[in-house]
Amino acid sequence: MRLKLHVWRQASPSDRGGFATYEAEASEHMSFLEMLDVVNEELESKGQEPIAFDSDCREGICGTCGMVINGRPHGPWKRTTVCQLHMREYSDGDEIWIEPWRADGFPIQKDLIVDRSAFDRIVAAGGYISVRTGSAPEANAIPVAREKAEKAMDAAACIGCGACVAACPNASAMLFTSAKAAHLNLLPQGQPERHGRVLNMILTMEAEQFGTCTNHGACENACPKEIKIEVIAMLNRDYLRALLKAG
C-alpha cells in the first residue's frame, strides 16, 4: 500500500517545528514502526536526516515508544502501544498524521522524542517502599490476599509511556501518579509510608508542569495497559486523609 505521512519534524527543543510530508510504501504485515524504519532507511540513503523517534522493546512493555497518530496517542488500536500497531489497520491511499506527545511536562527533544524524566522525579518523590537490601523478612511472613495482590498488579502494570498525559486535555499526570500510588498503597508493605508517599508524589507532580485532573477520563481510554481511572479516586481519598493527618 502507498501512504501519505505528515510527520512532526523539530530539530531541537528551541526550534519551532512543523509537519513534513513523506510518501511511504508498506506491506500489511509490517508493524507501524517498521513502516517508519523503511521511510528512514530511504531518507538516510538519500543523505537526509531520518525521523527521530524512540522505541526499544517493540512489544508493548518498556514504554519507550509513543506518538500521536491521527490525534490518538498510540494510534487506533485498544490496549496497544504504537510499537504493537500493525499496518493491516491501514489501506492504500491513507493519510496519516504523526505527532509527539504534547504536554508542558514533556518538552520535545527532537521530532517525535520527548523528555519524560518528570515521571522519574514523581517516582523519586515517594513511589517506592523503603527496604534496605538484606533487611527484608522472610517472604511468606507477609501474606497478601490474592485479590489485593491482583489489584496491585493491575495498577503496577503501568509502563510509564505517558499516553495518559498526551490524551488528557489538561496534560495531567494523574493516572500515572495514581497507578504507582495504588500499587504500593494497596499492599500491606506499603502502609507505613502511605501518607508521605501520596503528599510528596502529588506535590512533585504539580511542580513538574502537569495540569490538574478534571475527571475527563481520556487517560483511561488511551492507556495501553487499561489502567482504570478508579486509581485516581483512590489517590484523591488518600490525599485527603493524608492532608487531614498532616493537619
Partner 1 sequence: MELRSKVPSGPIDQKWTRHKFEMKLVNPANKRKYSVIVVGSGLAGASASATLAELGYQVTCFTYHDSPRRAHSIAAQGGINAAKNYQGDGDSIFRLFYDTVKGGDFRAREANVYRLAEVSNEIIDQCVAQGIPFAREYGGLLANRSFGGAQVSRTFYARGQTGQQLLLGAYQALMKEVQRGQVKLCNQHEMLDVIVVDGQARGIVTRNLVTGAIDAHLADAVVLGTGGYSNAFYLSTNAMYCNVTAAWRAYRRGAGFANPCYTQIHPTCIPVSGDYQSKLTLMSESLRNDGRIWVSKKADDDRAPGDIPEDERDYYLERMYPAFGNLVPRDLASRRAKDMCDQGKGVGETKLGVYLDFEDAIERLGADVIEARYGNLFEMYERITGEDPYRVPMRIYPAPHYTMGGLWVDYNLMTTVPGLYAIGEANFSDHGANRLGASALMQGVADGYFVLPYTIADFLARAALEPVPEDHPEVSRTLEDVRSRIDRLLALKGDRTVNSFHKELGRLVWDYCGMARNASGLKEALERIPELRQEFWENATVVGEGESINQTLERAGRVADFLELSEVMCLDALIREESCGGHFREEHQTPEGEAKRDDEHFTHVTVWEFTGPDSPPREHREPLEFEYVPPTQRSYK
Binding site for ligand FES (CB under 6 A): 55-58, 60-65, 81, 83
Stretch that binds partner 1, among 118-126, 167-175, 216-224, 227-235 (CB under 8 A): 118-126
> Cell triple for residue 247?
493537619
Instruction: Give the contact letters, 196-235, x = binds to partner 1 (CB under 8 A), - = no.
Output: ----------------------------------------
| Binds 20: which of partner 1, ligand FES, none (CB < 5-8 Å by kind) | none
Q: What is the 3-state secondary structure (H, E, C) of 165-179?
A: HHHCCCCECHHHHHH
Q: Which is nearer to ligand FES, 74 or 197 (CB)?
A: 74
139-146 contact pairs (CB < 8 A, 24+): 142/188, 142/189, 144/187, 144/188
Cβ at position 63, least distance to ligand FES in Å: 5
Residue 14 binds to partner 1 (criterion: CB under 8 A): no
What separation, in Å, do the N-terminal and C-terminal C-alpha atoms of the chain show?
63
Are 69 and 97 in contact, with CB atoms under 8 Å apart? yes
| Binds 175: which of ligand FES, partner 1, none (CB < 5-8 Å by kind) | none
Residue 59 binds to partner 1 (criterion: CB under 8 A): yes
Cα separation of 221 and 193, whole Å? 30
Residue 100 binds to partner 1 (criterion: CB under 8 A): no
User: Which residues lie across from 8 on neighbouring strands?
Assistant: 19
Q: Which amino acid is at 176?
A: F
Residue 58 binds to partner 1 (criterion: CB under 8 A): yes
Stretch that binds partner 1, among 94-102, 119-127, 165-173, 205-213 (CB under 8 A): 119-127
Of 24, 26, 21, 18, give the one whose Cα is nearest residue 6. Answer: 21
Cα separation of 89 and 94, whole Å? 10
Cβ at position 23, least distance to ligand FES in Å: 25
> Cell triple for residue 75?
494510534
| Binds 162: which of partner 1, ligand FES, none (CB < 5-8 Å by kind) | none
Residue 7 binds to partner 1 (criterion: CB under 8 A): no
- Report DSSP state, residue 224: T
Q: Which of residues 170-199 bind partner 1 (CB under 8 A)?
A: 183-184, 187, 189-190
Cβ at position 3, least distance to ligand FES in Å: 21
Residue 1 binds to partner 1 (criterion: CB under 8 A): no
Q: Which is nearer to partner 1, 135 or 244 (CB)?
A: 135
Residue 29 binds to partner 1 (criterion: CB under 8 A): yes
Q: Which amino acid is at 99?
A: E
Of 113, 5, 3, 2, give the one whose Cα is nearest residue 69. Answer: 5
Residue 94 binds to partner 1 (criterion: CB under 8 A): no
Give the SS3 label for residue 202.
helix
